[in-house]
Amino acid sequence: MHFCAVVNIFILHKRVCMLESTLKKISILSAAAKYDVSCSSSGSKRSTPSSGVGNGALSGICHSFTEDGRCISLLKILFSNACKYDCAYCINRKSNDIERATFNIQELTDLVMGLYKRNYIEGLFLSSAVFNNPDYTMEYLVRVAKDLREKYRFGGYIHLKAIPGASALLIHQAGLYADRCSVNIEVPSSKSLAYLAPDKNFKAIFQPMNYLAERKLEYSAGKPSKYTPHFLPAGQTTQMIIGASGESDLDILKLSSSLYQKQKLKRVYFSGYIPLNNDKRLPAITVAPPLVRENRLYQADWLMRFYQFSYDEILDDSNPHLDLQIDPKMGWALRHPEVFPLDINTADYEMILRIPGIGIRSAKLIVSGRRHSRITLAHLRKLGVALNRAKYFIYDPDLPRSLQLVYPEQIKMNLIAAPKKNQNQISFLPSLVS
């Protein structure tokens, strides 16, 4: 056989082997990334660079979510699952006998650009287990983002994990190259974290979070010029595992509220604990994930972010857990019968927001519409108000007076007993807290 033909066969064989190796890594590392739910995107101002590709500003990445939390059209993957830590709740902990894999930088950047050019993805969500040490791991993540931005002129969306314990320099570079960063708190208290993940601590987790918040404030101060670098245009997020430790819903909401106020987080994500490991420190492997509780926490979080509720209005020391049978807005209304009924034609916007069954859009339309004419029940129906819930809390001449005489306990029983659409499906839509 001709020498050149032999060489070509050798090269082809090598390429096939490399492809098989990459495909295997993709299979392992994409599956390992599915438990991180803090991957939505919004608010980026990064547009397509000159002679580059991709635009992270035109639209969000997260068009849809899969059942396990993965975001469609976003490549969600780990750089490595070869972790040096032994966190009780994590599938990638070092004591687990699982298949390990680690990308190299060229493999991953080629993968991202190849998928993007074929219109399979619009961006990248890149995390990693901590291998070697935090700085070593963080450097690889930053180099991937840097190569995508500078070598390939990629203007699409990039979400990087900020590794606790990594140097401020690397965290700063992550903020320059990424649209969004996240540092997962994972367990909602320092005591539980020390018990379940002895290699980690709250101080190390909050360090990069605080640094990113401070730098973003500096970069956004005043009127930025066209020469001002983009620094974390889509902000930062975090994730908490719910049900792996004994914190109350009040503890979780209090921490979430602090993160929004002090660290200026865009979003706090809640992930119901999925039993993956047999460990005496954790709930039994047979325990079902607390999905309803997770949903209630998202609803409470929505109330804090958009409905002007504070965490201690939703829960308090005498009432530290969310009611799993009703949404938290209804729970607040039933605990405060002295506030109701409210006349929607005279009540303040802030109070109308607190009426169960009335969402933000409906509340705004009510306030603007009543300037021109009195708002009636017919108007409320057209505005999309859920009168099956709102009727107990509003005053209207067309409503039976007897509705305001119903005890809160009876209202709750009526609402629970009422037939519902898609009873077996848990929705995360904001309408659930209206």
Residue 425 is predicted with a pLDDT of 38
Residue-wise DSSP of 344-363 = TTTS-HHHHTTSTT--HHHH
Evaluate if pTM is beyond 0.95: no
Buried b (16+ CB within 10 A) or exposed e, 116-155: beeeebbbbbbbbbbbeebeebbbbbbbbbbbbbeebebb
Q: For the packed helices 291-306 and 249-262, what is the interaxial angle rounded to 10 degrees?
A: 40
SS3 158: strand
Rg (CA), the chain: 25
Asked if pLDDT for residue 227 goes beyond 70, the answer is no
Across the range 52-73, mean pLDDT stands at 50
More confident residue, 142 or 58: 142
Across the range 175-186, mean pLDDT stands at 93
pLDDT tens digits, one per residue of 91-124: 999 999 999 999 999 999 999 999 888 888 888 9
Residue-wise DSSP of 30-80 = HHHTTT------------PPTT-B--SSSS-S-S-B-TTSPBTTEEEEESB
The CATH 3.20.20.70 portion of the chain extends over: 33-314
**Mean model confidence pLDDT for the chain:** 85
Residue with tokens 């606790």: 164
Across the range 294-305, mean pLDDT stands at 96
| Percent of the chain residues topping a pLDDT of 90 | 64
In the DSSP assignment, the letter for residue 289 is P
pLDDT band of 434, cuts 50, 70, 90: low
CA distance 86 to 161: 19
Asked if pLDDT for residue 428 goes beyond 50, the answer is no
Reference 77, options 22, 136, 2, 119; nearest CA is 22
Under CATH, which architecture does the 33-314 domain have? Alpha-Beta Barrel (3.20)
